[in-house]
A and B are shown apart, each in its own frame.
Chain A
Amino acid sequence: GENVEQHPSTLSVQEGDSAVIKCTYSDSASNYFPWYKQELGKRPQLIIDIRSNVGEKKDQRIAVTLNKTAKHFSLHITETQPEDSAVYFCAATHSGNTPLVFGKGTRLSVIA
């Protein structure tokens, strides 16, 4: 089955700097890769996703890149703000009613 590795487990950045979180997946049939932000005591919230027919997707300060050949994808957050502090999870699946497999998460701290 699918296995998703996520690095780093913790990340501290100064406000205004960029943050990058990386994930690798094992199943070459996976074709949907979402990223979730989870604040303390809350449910995971989808912040951006990418499908395997696209190499990059951007939404304001957040971008995701996908390298299908290497089977890795990354989350990029630019101009970080204190409210970006949270735990971020990457996930992978075959799209279409198959469950997500999650990475172990990255705790991001943005220091003002």
Chain B
Amino acid sequence: SAVISQKPSRDICQRGTSLTIQCQVDSQVTMMFWYRQQPGQSLTLIATANQGSEATYESGFVIDKFPISRPNLTFSTLTVSNMSPEDSSIYLCSVDRANYGYTFGSGTRLTVV
């Protein structure tokens, strides 16, 4: 299956600060997806990142809060800005690899204090 390297794996951050999460894929993919998984909950799509264009955000998520970069076909970053304790979650990137299905990065466990 696709190898997705995601970092950091975890972080504890002060409220009001920002954290940038990186995902590197071992091959070129058209779309990269960013999800949030709150404690004990399912995965909720934040946005879809397409190289060369602005990310498409789901209802309830805005670019100012979750800016995304997609500089090439193997890499993307998600920034969680001006963090509050409610942002404490696991953040996951995902890609669709033909014949392998949708695979996920290892996740970033964020705690905001």
Residues of A within 8 A of B (CB): 34, 42-44, 46, 49, 89, 91, 95-105
The 3 closest A-B pairs by CB, nearest first: A97-B31, A43-B104, A102-B43
**Bound: A46/B102 CA distance, A:** 8
Asked if A101 and B45 sit within 8 Å, CB to CB, the answer is yes
**Bound: A60/B78 CA distance, A:** 38
Chain B residues with CB under 8 A of A96: 96
Asked if A100 and B102 sit within 8 Å, CB to CB, the answer is yes
Chain A residues with CB under 8 A of B105: 43
Interface of A is mostly: loop
How far, in Å, is B30 (CB) from chain A's closest CB?
5
Chain A residues with CB under 8 A of B44: 102
How far, in Å, is B64 (CB) from chain A's closest CB?
21
Interface size on B, residues (CB 8 A): 20
Flag whether B60 is at the interface (Cβ < 8 A): no
Find the B residue at minimum CB distance from A34: B101
Asked if B45 and A46 sit within 8 Å, CB to CB, the answer is no
Chain A residues with CB under 8 A of B104: 43-44
Find the A residue at minimum CB distance from B101: A46
**Bound: A95/B30 CA distance, A:** 13
Asked if B106 and A89 sit within 8 Å, CB to CB, the answer is no
Asked if A46 and B96 sit within 8 Å, CB to CB, the answer is no
**Bound: A98/B1 CA distance, A:** 18
Asked if A89 and B42 sit within 8 Å, CB to CB, the answer is yes
- Select one of A34, A43, A99, A105 contacting B33, CB under 8 A: A99
Find the B residue at minimum CB distance from A101: B45
Find the A residue at minimum CB distance from B50: A97
How far, in Å, is A98 (CB) from chain B's closest CB?
8
**Bound: A97/B106 CA distance, A:** 20
- Select one of A49, A99, A101, A102 contacting B101, CB under 8 A: A49
**Bound: A46/B41 CA distance, A:** 18
